[in-house]
Structure 1
Amino acid sequence: MVDIFIENMKITEESNQSEYNEICNNLYQFNVNATNELLSKPGKDINLYLRDESGKAIGGLFCETWLYGLYLDVFWIDENYRHKGYGILMLTEAERQGKKLGCTFAHTCTFSYQSLDFYVNAGYEIFGINDEYPDGIKQYFLKKKFK
């Protein structure tokens, strides 16, 4: 564990969940105030699950909405169920729900070893690339304006 002392203060890795939550909530509240409450709009999460016949979750798409944007945060489907059209159905449904809430665009990021082609084929446009990772790995930032 690292502890760095500066005057009467200490920088440490020591933590607990309530302090973590408090700091995150304080940042969120600062951002809501700084954006005249736009950050909190529409402010509803969209979480979709792909379930097999037994009810087991074999995929999920977890999204947040803020500043009238739909952020695709986590999107994963079990390898045995990929390339069967489930992903585009889930993405289309998340976009539909986002539009219904008032979102005017969607955005996400993906790595070069993940699903860049999937997003591009779904109408997403690359607006940034981070190519500082080792072994030629790139991170792509994508967006899609809703019509």
Structure 2
Amino acid sequence: MEIKISHIEDRQTEEYIIQRLWQHNNRFADVNMKSLNVFLYDDEQRIQGGLLAHTWFGTLDINYLWIDEAYRQHGSGRQLMLAAEEEARGRGCHMAVVDTLSFQARGFYEKLGYRVYGEKDDYAQRFARYYLAKRL
């Protein structure tokens, strides 16, 4: 056996590992993982924000949420979150999960009904990382 460490992205190998993991998981439960992405465009059809997530095991798993500075504080993030939650409910999801760092958006998620279920201090040696969930 040989172990190799690489800093080069290898989509084919990454996809192989992911597919093998899901084959294993599907032996125990129907994973049914699907991408769920919601985008915000301005009047000129330039992207100004987006939410990247997956639904699986009855859960909306939010990986990334970004809004351009010019579109923050106007409800755009809330609209993206609510659209993702609505789509997730339509897919049969009963909960949503997200994580955020102490300098990011904990309060934003809490205003939407998310509650902290775990945290890790000293993340990157200076932040806290919060894990939040919400029943849908």
Q: Is the TM value for this pair above 0.5?
A: yes
Spell out the pairing of 1:62-81 with structure 2 (5 A cutoff): 62-81=52-71
CA displacement, residues 39-61 of structure 1 (integer Å, 9 cap, x when unaligned): 22xx3321111001110111001
Offset, 1:10: 1.3
1:53 aligned residue: 43
Which is higher, the Rg of structure 1 or of structure 2?
1
Give 5+ residue unaligned stretches, structure 1: 1-8
1:132 aligned counterpart, secondary structure:
strand
Offset, 1:17: 3.0
One-letter code of the match for 1:13?
A: I
2:15 aligned residue: 21
1:127 to 114, 117, 121: 117
2:29 aligned residue: 36
1:118 aligned residue: 108
Give 5+ residue unaligned stretches, structure 2: none
Spell out the pairing of 1:84-99 with structure 2 (5 A cutoff): 84-99=74-89
What TM-score results when the alignment is normalised by the length of structure 1? 0.85
One-letter code of the match for 1:97?
A: E
1:10 aligned residue: 2
Identity %: 32
Q: CA RMSD in A?
A: 1.3
